[in-house]
Amino acid sequence: MIEVRQARYFVAVAEELHFGRAAERLNMSQPPLSQAILQLERQLGTSLLTRSSRSVLLTDAGTLFLEECRLLVQASQRAQDVAARAISGMAGTLRIGAVTSAFNSLLPAVLNRFTGDWPDVELEVAEIDTHHGPDRLLRRELDVAIIRQAGANKGLTSVPLRRDRFVVALPETHAAAASETPVDLAELRDDAWVWLPRAISPDYHDEMVAACRKAGFSPQAKHFANSIHSQLAMVGCGLGVTLAPNSSIGPTGQGFVVRDLAERVDLVELSLVIRDGASETITRHFIQCARDIAQSS
């Protein structure tokens, strides 16, 4: 089996085509280098170089062998780099859970920044609901959760990122869709609503209920979705109206329009949650990326 040291020696000689210059490049004397190449040729059972008093040339076998040696040296260097990053905390696996709305704006930018900085970190990302985040962190199934954290959980630390607000999504045929003015939520009391069952997302469901009750009515929940995205799609089908976080709204023009509410309704703050005392370099850098992106958006 060819050793990395042998491959490195041969690459230097093959690229320099001069034993003296190759020895200088390798910071060694020429005689040991010449002996190492001779031993390599004996080991392979073929000549890699044609030597004369005036020149050193590659044989056909040497030309083919050179490319393989370069790959071996490069692979060895990559392995060393990965090991060095792992020792410094710049390699490993980061398990992230995030609520649906985080995937539309905040999380893509954070992941782009993070992977650009530390490409050797393997990411495992899952869509979760807020009420699942704390338990999965404490069970060590996640390293980071981006959720709407209303209160503190024992054993967890919360890092505030941003506060979103509710907007209303209306079918394009809705009377209020023709105007650009904010919508009074109370005006939608008699509309059919596209709803998210509490079993799907208790926190999001409760915030929708609270917003409607504050406006003085209980919504007529006639149609039910399993996610925010399917809620919006159902509104686009003309089935009814709904509330959604402003950050969850992608491009419109899919059968629905979005309007601000006349009275602003803020959602529970979107936070990054980790276990108490988490000191892993990977986690700390992810937190810094998330803070930077949140502050600049």
Q: What is the pLDDT of residues 113-129, one digit of tens each?
A: 999 988 888 899 999 98
Domain ranges of the chain: 4-87, 92-153+269-296, 166-259
Instruction: Provide the pLDDT confidence category of residue 87 given band limits of 50, 70 and 90.
Output: low
User: Is the pTM here over 0.75, yes or no?
Assistant: no
Q: What is the 3-state secondary structure (H, E, C) of 106-157?
A: HHHHHHHHHHHHCCCEEEEEEECCHHHHHHHHHCCCCCEEEEECCCCCCCEE
Q: pLDDT tens digits for 180-218?
A: 899 999 999 999 999 999 888 888 888 999 999 999 999
In this predicted structure, what is the pLDDT of residue 174? 94
Q: Which residues pair with 144 in a beta bridge?
A: 96
| Fold match, 92-153+269-296 / 166-259 | yes
pLDDT at 92 over 80: no
User: What sign results for the dihedral spanned by CA atoms 48, 50, 53, 55?
Assistant: negative
Query: What is the CATH topology of the domain spanning 4-87?
Result: Arc Repressor Mutant, subunit A (1.10.10)
Judge contact between 139 and 110, C-beta under 8 A: no
In this predicted structure, what is the pLDDT of residue 144? 94
The two three-digit tokens of residue 271, written as one number: 């936070």
166-259 is a CATH 3.40.190.10 domain = yes
pLDDT at 18 over 80: yes
- Helices and strands (H and E) in the chain: how many: 9, 12
Q: For 190, which DSSP code?
A: T
**Between 171 and 267, where is the model more confident?**
171
Can you tell me the mean pLDDT for 263-269? 87
- Inter-helix orientation angle 4-16/30-44, to 10°: 110
pLDDT at 172 over 60: yes
Give the whole-angstrom CA distance, residue 142 versus residue 136.
6
Query: What is the CATH topology of the domain spanning 92-153+269-296?
Result: D-Maltodextrin-Binding Protein; domain 2 (3.40.190)
